[in-house]
């Protein structure tokens, strides 16, 4: 696979996304909202409890709550690709540009990787913007009230550095596969939302398991998702049929 | 340049193309005519390695259509103008062409030169930075043709290049195809426009799932409907008609007002004998002309025959 070819496909899609304000707004809305809402909820809860807790207890409770909320950003990274990746091939079908694109000397892998990259970069970028806002607000509160910054911590680093991008890749791949097999954006988005449900459930389950330390759980989860990412990429290559896409699309 | 042998494509129980055998020479403009669902687009898609063949063989240049190893090479050497222009409306004309130029691996300098040359040739250079969505149908078609040519392909597949265009835009596209013909591109053109095919194509094939006929427009016009000589007289009289019917070279004769319409195999050789017989019988000859079937007549006749079989 020639990565530079995939990058050509990706940059074209990225410049098209940039020109579509509705996509941009819906992409940035959720991470922004969560970046403000989650720390606000955390601060409100902690302030309510603060009087009844010692400083050490408050720090421990705050860390627990913030770690839980940090996990939500990985869930956001799983949800956002339903906006972009679901459009990847359906968009080409709607613009009727699929035939000339498939006629170019580009392999299935290059096309799929390029389409995935074009969805991954903005989705993970928007998630990080939300996470940065979250971190700034939390740290501002903790510096004033606890005299220390709570994030980044070890768990935050693993979630942001590994789980979030890996889960985003998984969701992107699933949505790209769906996009190549349906003819309508709404169908792609609905099916996309359906397939990311198991991903979200696994994420929620992982954060609630008490028997394994959070950091260990995050590492296990990263490994499992990485394996799933690779498997899904090969599955998407195997199921990507130019002929079927061309002849079954009306 | 393009060769097919018993090329067949089936979709389940439906046969879209059956036993297609043809040869298109380098630098030739080859017209592919046929009614809707005749298999024209399926043939082009098979030749461009977009869909697989069910059986038979096809080659483009030195490459085997259907071979996994040769497909990328074939896609690189052919340019395709699909039925739907399929441009990115939100991107500029320049960006559209640049994107495809990069995918076709055209070096940056050459890509820039090609885009400038093609857009100037098609009269769109001044609007190169405008979003394609703002262009008329005809202009979009021109950009799609430029896209098909961005990598200087040896073979060009055009699917209905002037469909849905107004007469002026059609003429521009037609003239452009004629310019490409001068540059010795091999052009394979699907069309419903018989007049256009007759004017542009060196040879024409008529397809209705199977290949019905192939030849130059002139050969098809002559070969299918036979050749007719028309003798315009001051008046058609019984002795003149009888004299003409007596001639062994005359296959059939009918009258229309003051004209005799005569079927003959070789008018160049037999017309002098015919005229002599008419004059001898007292006919006053005003004109002698040839009545040719139009390509449309030929096409309709062949397609109806194929449908009846």
Model confidence pLDDT, tens digit, residues B235-259: 888 999 999 998 888 888 888 888 9
- Asked if residue A190 lies in contact with residue A126, where contact means CB atoms within 8 angstroms, the answer is no
For residue B274, what is the domain's CATH number?
3.30.70.100
Same domain, residue pair B213 and B268: no
Q: Determine how many CB atoms are found less than 10 A away from the CB of residue B3.
A: 16
Q: Which of B200, B292, B49, B12 is nearest to A104 (CA)?
A: B49
Structural domains counted in chain B: 2
| A150-to-A50, A144, A155, A156, A170 alpha-carbon distances in Å | 16, 12, 11, 10, 29
Question: Positive or negative, the Cα torsion across B83, B88, B93, B98?
Answer: negative
Q: What is the pLDDT of residue A128?
A: 96
Please tell me which residue, B175 or A31, carries the higher pLDDT value.
A31
Structural domains counted in chain A: 1
Same domain, residue pair B123 and B61: yes
Tell whether the model's pLDDT for residue A15 goes beyond 80.
yes
Q: Which residue has the tokens 């799932």?
A: B209
Q: What is the pLDDT of residue B300?
A: 83
Task: Kindly state whether B147 is in contact with chain A, defined as any CB-CB distance less than 8 angstroms.
Answer: yes
**Averaged pLDDT score across all residues of chain A:** 89
Domain-embedded: residue B307 = no
Task: Kindly state whether B149 is in contact with chain A, defined as any CB-CB distance less than 8 angstroms.
Answer: no
In chain A, which residues have their Cβ closer than 8 Å to the Cβ of B73? 105
Residue B66 CA to residue B48 CA, distance in Å, equals 9
Same domain, residue pair B209 and B252: no
Q: What is the pLDDT of residue B156?
A: 93
Residue B25 CA to residue A171 CA, distance in Å, equals 49
Domain-embedded: residue A248 = no
Spatial strand order of the sheet with B285-291 comes to: B250-256, B259-264, B227-233, B285-291
Tokens representing residue A30 in the block: 């959720």
Tell whether the model's pLDDT for residue B147 goes beyond 80.
yes
What is the pLDDT averaged over residues A120-149?
94
B90, B95, B147 member nearest A20 (Cβ) = B90
Q: Which of B162, B210, B161 is nearest to B187 (CA)?
A: B161
For residue B11, what is the domain's CATH number?
3.40.50.300
Domain-embedded: residue B144 = yes
Tell whether the model's pLDDT for residue B224 goes beyond 70.
no
Residue A74 CA to residue A217 CA, distance in Å, equals 14
Give the pLDDT band (50/70/90) at residue B225.
low
| B129-to-A162, A171, B54, B90 alpha-carbon distances in Å | 40, 35, 44, 11
Model confidence pLDDT, tens digit, residues A186-204: 888 888 888 888 888 887 8
Same domain, residue pair B240 and B149: no
Give the structural domain span for B286.
227-292
Quick one: B58 exposed, middle or buried, by C-beta within 10 A (0-12, 13-18, 19+)? Answer: buried
Model confidence pLDDT, tens digit, residues B163-213: 767 788 788 888 888 888 888 889 999 988 888 888 889 999 999 899 988
Instruction: Flag whether the ipTM exceeds 0.90.
Output: no
In DSSP terms, which residues pair with B232 in a beta bridge?
B259, B287
φ, ψ for residue A199 (rounded to 5)? -60, -45
Whether residue A100 and residue B100 make contact (CB cut-off 8 A), yes or no, is: yes
Same domain, residue pair B34 and B8: yes
Tell whether the model's pLDDT for residue A244 goes beyond 80.
no
Give the pLDDT band (50/70/90) at residue A79.
very high
Domain-embedded: residue B303 = no
Same domain, residue pair B277 and B205: no
Find the residue in B nearest to A241 (Cα): B51
The angle formed by the CA atoms of residues B229, B263 and B213, to the nearest 5 degrees, is 105
- Asked if residue B39 lies in contact with residue B209, where contact means CB atoms within 8 angstroms, the answer is yes
A12, A106, A242 member nearest B50 (Cβ) = A242
Same domain, residue pair B93 and B149: yes
Whether residue A100 and residue B11 make contact (CB cut-off 8 A), yes or no, is: no
Give the structural domain span for A171.
3-242
Tell whether the model's pLDDT for residue A147 goes beyond 60.
yes
Give the pLDDT band (50/70/90) at residue A207.
confident
**Exposure b/e, B84-101, CB count within 10 A at least 16 = b:** bbbbbebbbbbbbbbbbb
What is the pLDDT averaged over residues B107-111?
95
Tell whether the model's pLDDT for residue A238 goes beyond 90.
no
Residue A198 CA to residue A192 CA, distance in Å, equals 11
Q: What is the pLDDT of residue B66?
A: 83
What is the pLDDT averaged over residues B289-309?
79
Percent of chain B with pLDDT over 90: 44
Residue A160 DSSP SS3: helix
Give the pLDDT band (50/70/90) at residue A171.
very high
Mutation test of the interface with chain A: which of B86, B108, B148, B163, choosing the one with the most A Cβ atoms within 10 A?
A: B86
Same domain, residue pair B165 and B278: no
Quick one: B235 exposed, middle or buried, by C-beta within 10 A (0-12, 13-18, 19+)? Answer: exposed
SS3 string, B70-132, reads: HHHHHHHHEEEECCCCCCCCCCEHHHHHHHHHHHCCCCHHHHHHHHHHHHHHCCCHHHCCCEH
Tell whether the model's pLDDT for residue B294 goes beyond 80.
no
Q: What is the pLDDT of residue A243?
A: 80
Q: What is the pLDDT of residue B130?
A: 94
Tell whether the model's pLDDT for residue A9 goes beyond 70.
yes
Model confidence pLDDT, tens digit, residues B175-186: 888 888 888 889
Domain-embedded: residue B169 = yes
């Amino acid at each position: 696979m020639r990565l530079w070819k995939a990058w050509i496909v990706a940059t074209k899609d990225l410049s098209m996304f940039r020109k579509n304000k509705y996509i941009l707004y819906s992409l940035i809305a959720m991470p922004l909202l969560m970046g403000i809402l989650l720390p606000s909820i955390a601060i409100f809860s902690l302030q309510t409890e603060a009087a009844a807790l010692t400083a050490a207890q408050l720090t421990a409770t705050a860390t627990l709550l913030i770690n839980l909320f940090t996990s939500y950003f990985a869930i956001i990274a799983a949800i956002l690709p339903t906006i972009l990746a679901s459009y990847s091939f359906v968009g080409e079908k709607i613009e009727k540009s699929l035939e000339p694109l498939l006629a170019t000397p580009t392999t299935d892998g290059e096309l799929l990787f390029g389409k995935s990259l074009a969805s991954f970069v903005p989705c993970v970028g928007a998630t990080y913007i939300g996470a940065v806002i979250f971190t700034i607000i939390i740290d501002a509160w903790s510096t004033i009230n606890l005299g220390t910054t709570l994030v980044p911590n070890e768990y935050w680093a693993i979630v942001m550095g590994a789980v979030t991008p890996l889960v985003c890749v998984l969701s992107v791949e699933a949505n790209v596969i769906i996009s190549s097999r349906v003819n309508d954006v709404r169908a792609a988005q609905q099916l996309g939302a359906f397939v990311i449900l198991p991903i979200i459930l696994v994420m929620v389950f992982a954060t609630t398991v008490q028997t394994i330390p959070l950091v260990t759980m995050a590492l296990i989860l990263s490994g499992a998702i990485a394996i799933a990412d690779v498997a899904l990429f090969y599955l998407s290559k195997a199921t990507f049929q130019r002929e079927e896409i061309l002849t079954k699309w009306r | 340049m393009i060769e097919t042998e018993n090329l067949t494509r089936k979709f389940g129980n439906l046969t879209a193309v059956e036993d297609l055998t043809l040869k298109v020479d380098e630098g030739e403009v080859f017209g592919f005519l046929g009614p809707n669902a005749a298999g024209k687009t399926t043939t082009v898609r098979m030749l461009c390695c977009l869909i697989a063949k069910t059986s038979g063989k096809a080659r483009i240049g030195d490459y085997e259509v259907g071979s996994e190893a040769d497909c990328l090479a074939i896609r690189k050497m052919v340019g395709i103008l699909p039925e739907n222009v399929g441009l990115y409306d939100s991107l500029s004309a320049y960006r559209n062409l640049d994107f495809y130029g990069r995918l076709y691996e055209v070096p940056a300098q050459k890509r820039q030169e090609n885009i400038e040359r093609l857009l100037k040739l098609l009269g769109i250079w001044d609007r190169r930075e405008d979003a394609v969505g703002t262009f008329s149908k005809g202009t979009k078609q021109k950009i799609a043709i430029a896209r098909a040519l961005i990598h200087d392909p040896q073979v060009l597949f055009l699917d209905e290049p002037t469909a849905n265009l107004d007469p002026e835009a059609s003429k521009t596209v037609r003239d452009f195809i004629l310019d490409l013909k001068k540059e010795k591109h091999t052009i394979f053109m699907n069309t419903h426009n018989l007049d256009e095919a007759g004017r542009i194509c060196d040879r024409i094939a008529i397809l209705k799932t199977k290949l019905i006929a192939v030849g130059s427009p002139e050969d098809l016009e002559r070969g299918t409907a036979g050749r007719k000589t028309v003798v315009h007289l001051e008046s058609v009289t019984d002795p003149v008609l009888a004299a003409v019917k007596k001639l062994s070279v005359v296959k059939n004769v009918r009258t229309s007002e003051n004209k005799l319409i005569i079927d003959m195999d070789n008018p160049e050789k037999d017309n002098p004998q015919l005229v002599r017989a008419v004059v001898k019988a007292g006919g006053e000859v005003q004109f002698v002309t040839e009545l040719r079937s139009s390509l449309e007549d030929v096409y309709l006749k062949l397609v109806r025959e194929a449908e009846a079989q």
